[in-house]
Structure 1
Amino acid sequence: MALMPLLWIALIGLVVFAVLRLTQNSAGRHDATDPRKTPRETPEEILDRHFASGEIDAEAYTEARKRLAAHRPGPR
């Protein structure tokens, strides 16, 4: 009988937690741990990043851009 108020407090706390959790996710919060929600980089963006960081030189960058453009599907 003495534990009944504790049970109700725990139950109400659980409901409040669930409601807050659901409203935060539906409000458009971005969860970086979920790979389905993170936008994927295009091959061109990856190439641009490598060129910008100095991992490849201008000649390799230009050649890779040409190859990517040649393999990019056109409009149907």
Structure 2
Amino acid sequence: MMYWDGGWAWMMFMPLLWIVLIGLVVWAVIRLTHHPAGHGDGPEHRWPQRETPEEILDRRFASGEIDADTYAEARQQLAAHRARPQ
């Protein structure tokens, strides 16, 4: 009785299986050990606070991006916008 044991197919499939298995192990180790900045449990790993429009305006004025007249006008517009009920 003749039968096919598929030995040649396994010889071609096994290296591919090992490559995939090793790749999954490497991916899992990297995924479990790598903590990007801004992620974590401690206070030093929290996302940075988002700047308010006033803080952005102050920073731009302090760096010299805008002049005093533009700064004063923008502050007035922001104050009027905040005072308006929504």
**Residue matched to 2:76:** 66
Unmatched segments (≥5 aa) in structure 2: 1-10, 40-46
Distance in 2, matches of 1:61 and 1:23, equals 46
Distance in 2, matches of 1:23 and 1:41, equals 31
- One-letter amino acid of the structure 1 residue matched with residue 37 of structure 2: R
| Counterpart among 62, 71, 75 of residue 52 in structure 1 | 62
Structure with bigger RCO (C-alpha 8 Å, 6+ apart): 1
Aligned Cα root-mean-square deviation (Å)? 3.4
**Residue matched to 1:29:** 37
Distance in 2, matches of 1:73 and 1:28, equals 40
- How far has the Cα of 1:6 moved from its partner? 5.5
Aligned residues: 67
**Residue matched to 2:30:** 20
TM-score by length of 1: 0.51
Percent identity of equivalent pairs:
67
**Residue matched to 1:8:** 18
Q: As a proportion of its length, which structure holds more helix?
A: 2
- One-letter amino acid of the structure 1 residue matched with residue 30 of structure 2: L
Larger radius of gyration: 2
TM-score by length of 2: 0.48
Where in structure 1 do 4 or more consecutive aligned residues deviate above 3 Å?
Answer: 27-31, 37-41
